[in-house]
Amino acid sequence: MVVGLNLLRSLLGPTWLPKEVWLMRRTPAEPEAYARVFGAPCRFNAICSQLIFPASMLNLPVTPVSGTMAPETKFEVRLKLAALDELAADEWIGLVRRITLDLLLGGKCSRQAVATTLSMSTRSFNRKLAQVGTSYQELADFSRFTASRAIVSETDMPLGEVAGTLGYSNPSAFCRAFKRWTGMSPKQWRQDLVVQAPR
């Protein structure tokens, strides 16, 4: 997150500060130290780590950096999309997993949203999934497992809130899925990590 902060300062000027910082980690012994580093209030036990700033900041001019590339032409964008077809099956699945995870943590995950991010129709997306031997449901489940394991391990977020954030209809459905993946409930998983943690 500090790297992200420094990157934004390089674009917007050295005095730029976020409005708030969300961190996917338990509240530390000295949370004030984090606030001093970021120059903004810090919220711990967040669903993901991010720098929060007003949307109006997106309209600010950025400081030019020497050696930056010109905006991509439509032709270059089409070339990049065509390159998606050249990806090996495991590379394509990895890309879709990353997109699905990002959308899931942003609360906007759906088959249509993933297809749109890839500039594909839903039909083409489904066809490509079948070609590489997987399904949207498998990839969404993998992303939910990845996200839930990280959130349960790294934060003290209530399990009901984790379930809602990851799109489960109720905490019981989340707990059943988590137990299917790990062999234990999310509560047991979290307790085991606390017991194993070095003192």
* Residue 122 lies in domain: 72-199
pLDDT at 95: 87
- Pair 116, 159: CB distance under 8 Å: no
Question: Residue 51 pairs with which residues in a beta bridge?
Answer: 21
Predicted pLDDT at 75? 47
Which range is most confident: 64-68, 85-89, 101-105? 101-105
Whole-angstrom Cα distance, residue 118 to residue 182? 31
Q: Is the pLDDT of residue 77 over 70?
A: no
Supply the pLDDT for residue 194.
Answer: 66
Average pLDDT score over residue span 14-41: 89
Query: CA-CA distance, 146 to 91, in Å (whole number)?
Result: 18
Domain edge (last residue) among 58, 84, 100: 58
Residue 121: which residues within 8 A CB-CB, separation 6 or more? 115
Q: What are phi and psi of 175, to 5 degrees?
A: -65, -40
Output the CA torsion 172→174→178→180 (10° steps): 70
Structural tokens at position 187: 């509560």
Using only the alpha carbons of the chain, give its radius of gyration. 20
* Average pLDDT for 27-52: 90
In a domain, 149, yes or no: yes
Q: Which of these, 83, 89, 99, lies nearest to 132 by C-alpha position?
A: 89
Q: What is the pLDDT of residue 67?
A: 47
Given a cut of 80, whether residue 162 has pLDDT beyond it is yes
Residue showing tokens 């959130």:
151
For residue 48, what pLDDT is reported? 81
Structural domain count of the chain: 2
Same domain, yes or no: 40 and 121: no
The average pLDDT across 181-189 equals: 93
The least confident of 10-24, 78-92, 137-151, 155-169 is: 78-92
The pair of three-digit structure tokens given for residue 158, joined into one six-digit string: 């209530």
Q: Is 79 in the same domain as 41?
A: no
Per residue in 121-157, pLDDT (tens digit) is 999 999 999 999 999 999 999 999 999 999 999 999 9
pLDDT for 86 equals 65
Q: What percent of the chain has pLDDT over 90?
A: 35
Q: Is residue 190 part of a domain?
A: yes
Q: Can you say whether the dihedral through the CA atoms of 96, 97, 98, 103 is positive or negative?
A: positive
**Residue 32 domain flag:** yes
Together in a domain, 28 and 51: yes
- pLDDT at 12 > cutoff 80: no
My answer on whether 91 and 48 are in the same domain is: no
d(CA 41, CA 47): 16
12 and 100 both lie in a single domain: no
| pLDDT at residue 175, rounded to an integer | 94
Classify residue 26 by its DSSP letter: P
